[in-house]
Structure 1
């Protein structure tokens, strides 16, 4: 059905876990690699809406709360057959109504930017670039003298949450727990104290690295190199700031630079106290 034939009433409702297969098919139609399991994780962590026409879900959008003041938006998809019918505007109206005045963060494609600007979002200077590909042979990471890498355990989650909040300014314990449940992590220790961490989980065509939290680029490189070495010959993805010093190195490791999105905010940015920084998000949607 063309956009010109799309008439009311479309039904807008809250997303449910059982919508994951339909949302996967919708995201596949726009070229996204998400599996049903990826959608189930996203739905379970936050809220969202779908728009259906008859029995078909033709649009969807999600949001994830971090504390009482902020949230991220993402997985905003309109079926190619129904684009141009105002469904994107309805999705944004639905999200704004459900996020109850929080400050909102999202990463925007070029095509989506005008819609978000009309909804009150503004670019704040950040850009995120995706790297992906089959990991080439990478030497085992060599932490600086006095530093060691070790596997993260479930009992480390409170520590990782504190590091993550110092890097992002957001309480994201539920996100970190979900990533750990579906994947694994490593902690970088210096003088017996945690100085950073990184995580890896199955996603899309292979695995995604993130979040990566570290004090500087050198530590971040060690935390990423661990996964490149452990998953040689497998498909990996990582998203990181477009100006990251790790970008050229990742290309040399087989992870080519592809799409770049613009970070936008509606409201105020969270205040990260440091000294650690977020070198790679858990995903473009989750932040």
Structure 2
């Protein structure tokens, strides 16, 4: 049973001045996020902190995607303040900010009971793969396919592909990703059918989002980044896919953890022609 909520702890908007303390909280959990990663996530969304006597003892971030969808992440409560209802207060406050949007999050085992009480229901899992690939086979492209660098003129096309794949209008997120990430596009008959972004994150680099029409297209895109950055520590967060999991394991990026995908509200029906094969991050979706 939760302790009585600590009312000496106040909630307020997160500002850039809070990021050093937020980063310290995530480091205590041994999460890999750098201070720059926190800065990126706050710029892409909205945040709240729980504060007591000038010290940040809890955090939460949310990302509204269009008028109907949002994600939530970076839900942290300092160890000495856990059990006092602070996590519930942070969730209630961010949900109020996000309004009637469907909210998607990726839950650790520790967070599952709270999210279930708040009306979130499971709909899948995310597998965290990480490591260094030293030898990556060259993928076989289909006729009239090529992988090419992402250009500024591709922005609208990749936002549209992402929207079809995940059901969210994430133009605001991609505006920030353009500043932080490199990208490649999978073309077929001179038409963009997939893409993959690559950026600094945590202990090394993250590959994602990866959007493609099928798992072979996803492997082609991921292979580009692993092959051109051989030996570099990389992370890929994938929706549960046994074929992609086995392939990444064989390349030297084993699955090191799993979290539960949960949603509160209706999800958009999936597009059968294009799919998300890797996330921007577990928090961002």
Q: Name the TM-score, length of structure 1 as normaliser.
A: 0.95
Partner of 1:286: 284
In the aligned structure 1, how far is the partner of 2:113 from the partner of 2:45?
25
Partner of 2:175: 177
Tell whether the 8 Å contact from 2:148 to 2:184 is kept in structure 1 after alignment: yes
In the aligned structure 2, how far is the partner of 1:197 from the partner of 1:158?
12
In the aligned structure 2, how far is the partner of 1:216 from the partner of 1:244?
13
Shift of 1:7: 4.4
Taking the TM superposition and a 5 Å limit, the aligned residue runs for 1:127-276 are 127-276=125-274
Partner of 1:8: 7
Tell whether the 8 Å contact from 1:60 to 1:76 is kept in structure 2 after alignment: yes
Which sections of structure 2, spanning at least 5 residues, go unmatched?
none
Tell whether the 8 Å contact from 1:135 to 1:253 is kept in structure 2 after alignment: yes
Q: Name the TM-score, length of structure 2 as normaliser.
A: 0.95
In the aligned structure 1, how far is the partner of 2:4 from the partner of 2:105?
31
Shift of 1:5: 11
Runs of 4+, deviation exceeding 6 Å: 3-6
Shift of 1:191: 1.0
Secondary structure at 1:213 match in 2: strand
In the aligned structure 1, how far is the partner of 2:242 from the partner of 2:270?
18
Taking the TM superposition and a 5 Å limit, the aligned residue runs for 1:22-37 are 22-37=21-36
Tell whether the 8 Å contact from 2:49 to 2:59 is kept in structure 1 after alignment: yes
Tell whether the 8 Å contact from 1:30 to 1:80 is kept in structure 2 after alignment: no
In the aligned structure 2, how far is the partner of 1:235 from the partner of 1:282?
16
In the aligned structure 2, how far is the partner of 1:115 from the partner of 1:6?
14
In the aligned structure 2, how far is the partner of 1:69 from the partner of 1:28?
33
In the aligned structure 2, how far is the partner of 1:87 from the partner of 1:142?
51
Once superposed, what is the RMSD of the aligned Cα atoms?
1.6
Shift of 1:50: 0.3
Shift of 1:87: 1.1
In the aligned structure 2, how far is the partner of 1:272 from the partner of 1:63?
23
Secondary structure at 2:243 match in 1: coil
Tell whether the 8 Å contact from 1:108 to 1:261 is kept in structure 2 after alignment: yes
Taking the TM superposition and a 5 Å limit, the aligned residue runs for 1:105-120 are 105-120=104-119
1:82 equivalent to 2:66? Answer: no
Tell whether the 8 Å contact from 1:130 to 1:260 is kept in structure 2 after alignment: yes
In the aligned structure 2, how far is the partner of 1:185 from the partner of 1:4?
47
Which sections of structure 1, spanning at least 5 residues, go unmatched?
none
In the aligned structure 1, how far is the partner of 2:40 from the partner of 2:278?
19
Q: How many residues align?
A: 284
In the aligned structure 2, how far is the partner of 1:138 from the partner of 1:90?
46
Taking the TM superposition and a 5 Å limit, the aligned residue runs for 1:55-70 are 55-70=54-69
In the aligned structure 1, how far is the partner of 2:242 from the partner of 2:72?
23
Tell whether the 8 Å contact from 1:240 to 1:279 is kept in structure 2 after alignment: yes
In the aligned structure 1, how far is the partner of 2:94 from the partner of 2:152?
33
